[in-house]
Structure 1
Amino acid sequence: MGAETDVSGTRLRRAGARRGLPWLVVALWVVLLAVAAPFAGKLGDVQSDRAVDYLPTNADSTQVAKIQDTLPGGESTDLVIVYHRDGGLTAADRATADERVAAIAREHPLSARPEGIGSKDGTTVMYPLSTTGPGQDDEARTTFVKDVRDSVGGGGGLQVRVGGPGAMNTDSMEVYGSLDGPLLYTTVAVVAILLILIYRSPFLWLVPLVVAGLADLLSMAVVYGLHQGFGTTVSSQSAAVMTILVFGAGTDYALLLVARYREELTRRALPLDAMTAALRGCGPAVVASSGTVAAGLLCLLAADLNSSRGMGPIAAVGVLSALLAMTTLLPAVLVLLGRRVFWPLVPAYGQEPRERRSVFAAMGGVAGRRPVAVLVTGGVALGALALGMFSLPGELKLEDSFTSRPESIVAMETLATAYPERSSQPVTVITPTGRADETLAEVRGIRGVAGAERVRDGGGWTELAVTAQDLPESAGERATVQALRDGLDGSHVGGPTAQQMDLEKTNSRDLRAVVPLVVVAVLLILIVLLRSLVAPLLLVAAVVAVWAASLGIAGLVLEPVLGAKGTDPGLPLLSFVFLVALGVDYGIFLMHRVREETLAGAGPTDAALTALRTTGGVIASAGLVLAATFSVLMNMPMTNLLELGFVVAVGVLLDTFLVRTYLVTSAAVALGRRIWWPGALSRRPQDEDPAREDGAELLARR
């Protein structure tokens, strides 16, 4: 009797401990967030969008920027004040301009007194000016540019704009600095609307949304730690993408877990037991898929471009933070809220699932009857779409990097019209001080150079300011930059155009280096997870085809429809990493269920169609949420974000509704057990009825 009492007491204590587990998880998260919150609030302080933060590590223009930081006064801020009147400048206009610029020169420590340069048509006069006063201090640089803009006057038909690299950088930082709030609010609103439509519940949608917000807070704290501990570059672009991934991927994981949890609630009386079963059922797929995404993103560490290399770990932190929150905090909160959180569609214990003909069952029927025809048709369609890549607009110029037209861009456009014969932005040459005069003479003799002057000395280096004969970022100015690099030994050539040239070259190099690394890393992980070679090859080939088709659609849409005047050099690489990693994510969800059904004894066709029928709705919902979150980037005022958001959103939709639904399912039906080769599932069990499998394959061929 005593022994029975002890056993009973032990069981009660274990049951009590299990019931207290959700509360313990919530308590641990409260402590974790209390520690993380102060650090998360500091992330904005370490974000930087200076040119050097985006440049390649070892590029010539990067060396120029680094050496400039060591010269007296540090990094220079170069502006061009532009006075313009459509009918031609009057004598009073010129006097006003001279007076205003002289006042600016008295108030700020400029490198030289600005001299006005009039245009040949008499409509414009520009005053180039440079200062090292702000140095590397972004806030001081912004204050200086604003002071100049407030002091230039204008009115009465006299138009005044402040442009130049310094003004353009300030406008860029202001745009990036304004992203955080609108990006977060818009993302939350989009996810909330979709969750309300998916769950059809006035309460349930709020739980994963709040958990995703807490995951975002945690990821911000971790990224701040990465910056402090390892010097990871944190740009506004990478921070924005991280937020998108936390909400997009996190909501995807929540959709899968909640769907399985709802299903288990009809089989088990206690919510805790149902959640335990749900985690056992879909948890491995969620963990495996998020791990694959993180591994693919971390391949960006092999990139030479600072912004791309920093984005890899930052984006991976976002995905892993979402995984942690959705597999610990979300289950605990759902268990504590009980069944009532699903109101009004509360799943009851013992409730039989409603039999209904779903759209995914109908799609599976098409794939099951004519798998080869579906495969060929889908492959041809993706190939045809990929041809649109040849219509992508050319390289993106600095002046086209905004979707709006800030003051610096308007100033540069005015200069391009009024001074078609000369450049309005400097090309910087850094040369050893011992041969500065010799280098200056060589520079002035190079074809395409309109003028050059010695600027600053320090640390054994001398800075030369070179003016090209051709317009900024034109083919002529690029040729001049290349001629300077080819003709000057021991010197470095930088400036805005040189930086763009280095960005393009490095992005091409990174594409060749990172893409194979991502493919191999993802393929190896899939081979281990699926215990097959054929299925991983199929999934990777599918997502690569989706990436090519998405870029093809971008080639047909970006310029004529969205008004983009160029293609961001980093678009191919970043879109590839995101689409391959996230696309394989969905492939794992589907193939994990196919494997589960096969292990349960289903034939190849039944396993594939059952997997599509049971997971199709969840994967479609997840794809819509992820595509919608990335499309939020299209509303941001930077062209690179617009293009990345468009390509990834289109790719996710293609992957969700064409590749996963039709092509992967058709391939699974057509290949049968061969899709699991050389694993054990590729061999027919001895107790399996050959007629059943043959009949399934016959159905698939019809």
Structure 2
Amino acid sequence: MSRVLAFPAGRRAKWLVLVAWLIILGAAAPFAGKLFGAVENDRLGYLPKSAESTAVLEQQEAFPQGRVNPAIIVYQRDGGLTAADRARAADDQRWMAGKYMPKTPPPPPTVSKDGKALIYQIALVAPPDKQEGNYVLDAVDAMRKHIGDPGGGLEVKVSGPAGRDSDQFLIFRDMQYQLVLIPVIVVAILLLVIYRSAVLFLVPLFTVAVANQLGSAFVYGLIKNTDLVINSMSTGVLSILIYGAGTDYALLLISRYREELARHEDRHEAMAEALRRSSGAVLASGGTVALGLLCLFAADLNATRALAPIGVLAVGSAMLAMLTLLPALLVVFGRWLFWPRAPHVGDSKRAHGFWTRMGETVQARPRRVWALTSLGLAVGVLGLLAFNVPQQTQFTTTPDSERGQTLISAHFPAGNGNPATIVANAAQADQVKTAATGSGVVGAVAEVGRAAGKVQYAATLNAEPVTAAERSAVHRLREDVHAVNGAEAKVGGPAAIQLDQRDTNVRDSWITIPLVLVVIFIVLLLLLRAVTLSVLLIATVALSFGAALGVSTLVFEYGFGWSGQDSQLPQLAFVFLVALGVDYNIFLMSRVREESRRHGTREGVIKGLVTTGGVITSAGVVLAATFAVLVALPVVSFAEQGFVIGLGVLIDTFIVRSLLVPALVHDIGDRVWWPSGLARGTRQRAERGRELAPDKSR
């Protein structure tokens, strides 16, 4: 295995590796370029099959009008609509209806009681040969271009479910290149600062870009050859994971390579030794992250399940490139890459001033250090008392659909902008309508059509769209129509879809979070062969997650003014943070284990902290910065994910891995390795080992 891992460092092998990667890149590039155009933003594909709203979407396809995604167009003038305004609205409606509803005569617009606004609905139905998300996006875009900017005090907006869907899809379409470009810029700047070399940073940056091409090509293949639902969010996470994890692995390898260049005249030998010393930690860390992400396969929500193979492919592509292409490139270019501080044989070790002081602090007062850091994290966890799952703020900006909904709510019943759909057996249609009307949460119920023994109604809810009140209204409406015997009534529509997504995410969290803990614990046991240390690491990372989510909750609520949190936030943040948090602890404890064999546990943990402090901290900053890219997205759910994961990584890097874990290990001593052999007097074995053989590794 040692020879296999060191293969890319060979004098001839490095050229074989480069040629192989040129072939891989040439084959992957055409498919990688098609990824963003192949994603699926279909409502039906996103939902779990068991959801009630899924059944409604499927049943809608049997009706003549098909599966409708309504756009609501609103016209408003503060001083009251003029005759010219109404004529303009009528012309716009005829154009839109002729283009998108050619077989259905449009009903006349509805004018508000105060005469200041009017609305009408355009039912968008994607043709069989077009993907729903892309069709809605193109249709709403065409409507907005047709309307233009009327000016003169008249305000016209395209809102409703189709308008909101379009705005969300538009954000990802416009940001798809930024989601790749911004991590590149962030990583480039950070590597330039970390290495303080004008050229060295280009090598890992190029390598991670190649890994991103490979990962993108693999995910494109998933879309084309599996039934997994891969949407715009998933592809954004792909690039962030590859750039974040790949740069981390590069930092670890280059740091060890630099150490070995000070011991070996031949750069090939130095790289071979660096690969032998660091590959195990990279493989263990990447494997841990991959196994943690695979737990998402247990989720019921299709989009969440898709993140499992995407995450594995991202981490796998990053590891493959960093353990083969990167070492080959480094060896080809030689020592001058490190200019102006190229390492030479016999160079003394670089001073670790800050980390030496950190180690001295831990060594002098380990119990006080871990007690104070644990207390600080526990205070952060208290922020969870303000956690409120129902998210009410959807966008960080005010897109057209949000402004349109504001106008609708000001002049009409709020639910006009987000109608619910009821499908039931036609024989009990009147009873279902009566039950819906008498539910107390519906303002009006209108029949949409009949087909195949079924009837479809559009119900105007009294509650404001995308609020907790609207979700409660859907709950109540479902209870009332379900009570009609024999009707087999079901409630769907945008509000019901959001409710089903939230409920599914909550159920999924109760499955995936414990599963991740069990899987990561088993992995740690296999890697470290120490029950005590494995429990300690899991506990500290879980505490770190709680603190990150608690602090973030307070920031969202009182800093950013985002009401409520995305229901998917705890699940995804936990999976990423626990997997990545354990990742850094594996980097640290791999070195600590190596040092403990020679110096004993207490001295070994301090040496491990001082030696790895700089590189792991740099890796943490890079990873946090790449996930923080999501905060730039004007969608609250993704901004929340980026903030929590970025903050959690920083907490793991600067508090858990730098202070809490070293202090606990130092305080516990050799017993931390129980039941492995290291628990039985590491110092004595180390002394005997030094007597028998010189210390070549140092």
Counterpart residue number, 1:146: 141
Distance 1:631 1:473, change over 3 A: closer
1:401 matches 2:394: yes
- The partner residue of 1:602 within 589, 596, 599 is 599
Match of 2:588 in 1: 590
- Give aligned-pair identity as a percent: 42
Aligned to 1:306: 302
Q: Which residue of 2 aligns with 1:668?
A: 665
**Corresponding residue to 2:551 among 550, 553, 558:** 553
Aligned match for 1:132, one of 111, 115, 125:
125
Distance, in Å, in 2 between the alignment partners of 1:313 and 1:574 is: 14
Q: Distance in 2 between matches of 1:307 and 1:92?
A: 46
Are 2:354 and 1:359 equivalent residues in the alignment? yes
Aligned partner of 2:213 in structure 1 is 217
The residue matched to 1:127 in structure 2 has which SS? strand
Higher mean displacement: 14-23 or 481-490: 14-23
Q: Deviations over 1:254-290 (max 9, x none)?
A: 0000000011111112111111100111110110000
Aligned partners of 2:600 and 2:682 also within 8 Å? no
**Number of the residue aligned with 1:10:** none
Aligned to 1:677: 674
Distance 2:686 2:639 in 1: 54
Find the counterpart in structure 2 of residue 699 from structure 1.
Answer: none
Cα distance in 1 for partners of 2:258, 2:8 equals: 24
- In the other structure, the counterpart of 1:376 is 371
How far apart are residue 403 of structure 1 and its match? Answer: 1.7
Counterpart CA distance in 2 for 1:477 and 1:562 is 23
> What residue is the counterpart of 1:280 in the other structure?
276
Give the 5 Å matches for 1:447-486.
447-458=440-451, 461-486=454-479
- 8 Å Cα contact 2:601-2:670 kept in structure 1: yes
- Alignment of structure 1 residues 191-590 onto 2, 5 Å: 191-354=187-350, 356-392=351-387, 395-397=390-392, 400-420=393-413, 423-458=416-451, 461-489=454-482, 490-590=488-588
Counterpart selection for 2:622 from 599, 617, 625: 625
Give yes or no for contact 1:71–1:458 (8 Å, CA) kept in 2: yes
SS at the partner of 1:561? helix
Q: CA separation in 2, counterparts of 1:149 and 1:462?
A: 33
2:81 paired with 1:83: no
> Structure 1 residues 222 and 444, CA, compared in 2 at 3 Å: closer, same or farther?
same
1:188 matched to 2:184? yes
Cα deviation, residue 605, structure 1: 1.3
| Amino acid of the structure 2 residue aligned with 1:453 | A
| Distance change >3 Å, CA 46–CA 663, structure 1 → 2 | same
Return the alpha-carbon distance in structure 2 between the equivalents of residues 421 and 211 of structure 1. Answer: 52
Partner deviation per Cα, 1:156-178 (whole Å, 9 max, x = no partner):
11111111101111111111111
- State whether residues 73 and 133 of structure 1, in contact with CA within 8 Å, keep that contact through their aligned partners in structure 2: no
Q: Distance in 2 between matches of 1:147 and 1:610?
A: 63
Q: What is the CA–CA distance in structure 1 between the aligned matches of 2:135 and 2:223, rounded to whole Å?
A: 23
- Shifted more, 590-599 versus 387-396: the winner is 387-396
- Which residue of the partner structure matches residue 38 of structure 2? 46
Amino acid at match of 2:196: R
Could you tell me whether the CA contact under 8 Å between 1:109 and 1:133 is conserved in 2?
A: no
**What corresponds to 1:656 in structure 2?**
653
Unmatched 5+ residue regions in structure 1? 1-13, 691-702
- Check whether the contact 1:101–1:152 (CA below 8 A) recurs between aligned residues: no
Contact 1:195/1:205, CA 8 A, preserved across alignment: yes
More divergent stretch after superposition (141-150 vs 655-664): 141-150
Q: Distance in 1 between matches of 2:467 and 2:657?
A: 44
Structure 1: distance between partners of 2:542 and 2:588: 18
The answer to whether the 8 Å contact 2:100/2:123 transfers is no
Shift of 1:647: 0.6
Alignment of 1:16-55 (within 5 A): 18-55=10-47
Q: 1 CA distance for matches of 2:551 and 2:473?
A: 35
Q: Secondary structure at the match of 1:126?
A: strand
Moved more, 436-445 or 588-597: 436-445
Determine the C-alpha separation between the residues in 1 that align with 2:375 and 2:219. 42
CA shift in 2, pair 1:103/1:423, >3 Å: closer
1:22 to 1:80, Cα distance in 2 relative to 1, 3 A: same
Q: Give, as a single letter, the amino acid of the residue that structure 1 aligns with 2:12.
A: G
The more displaced of 252-261 and 632-641 is 632-641
2:157 match: secondary structure: strand
Greater Cα shift, 32-41 or 151-160: 151-160
Q: Letter of the aligned partner of 1:33 in structure 2? A: L
Provide TM-score, normalisation by structure 2.
0.92
Mapped pair 1:97 → 2:89: yes
In structure 2, runs of 5+ residues without a counterpart are 1-5, 483-487, 688-698
C-alpha contact (below 8 Å) 2:530/2:673 kept by paired residues: yes
Whole-angstrom CA distance in 2 between matches of 1:21 and 1:460: 70
Shift of 1:230: 2.3
Moved more, 255-264 or 152-161: 152-161
Change in 2 beyond 3 A, CA 1:655/1:45: same
> Is the 1:115–1:128 contact (alpha carbons within 8 Å) kept by the matching residues of 2?
no
Paired letter, 1:450: G
* Cα displacement (A) at 1:233: 1.6
Aligned partner of residue 678 in structure 1, secondary structure: coil
* Helix, strand or coil at the partner of 1:488: helix
Deviation at 1:105, TM superposition (A): 2.9
Deviations, residues 34-81 of structure 1 (Å, cap 9, x unaligned): 222222122122212233343333111122223334543532130111
Please point out which of 51, 67, 87 is paired with 2:59.
Answer: 67
- The structure 2 residue matched to 1:173, chosen from 158, 169, 176, is 169
Pick from 606, 612, 615 the counterpart of residue 612 of structure 2.
615
Q: Calculate the TM-score normalised by the size of structure 1.
A: 0.91
The alignment partner of 1:560 has SS state of helix
Kept in 2, the 8 Å contact 1:105–1:114? The answer is no
Matched to 2:335, the amino acid is: R
Report the counterpart of residue 7 of structure 1 in structure 2.
none
Change (3 A) 1:384 1:139: closer
| Alpha carbons of structure 1 residues 16 and 219: separation in structure 2 relative to 1, 3 Å | closer
The Cα offsets for residues 227-264 of structure 1, whole Å up to 9 and x where unpaired, read as 22222221111111110110111000000000000111
Aligned residues: 673
Verify the 8 A CA contact 1:112 1:129 in the aligned structure 2.
no
Q: Answer whether contact 2:599 2:682 (CA < 8 A) is retained.
A: no
> C-alpha separation between the residues in 1 aligned to 2:179 and 2:308?
20
Q: Deviations over 1:61-114 (max 9, x none)?
A: 122223334543532130111111112223443343234323433444264523
Q: Secondary structure at the match of 1:549?
A: helix
Deviations 1:448-482 (A, max 9, x none): 22222222344554422112233324455433322
Q: Report the CA distance between 1:666 and its aligned residue.
A: 0.3
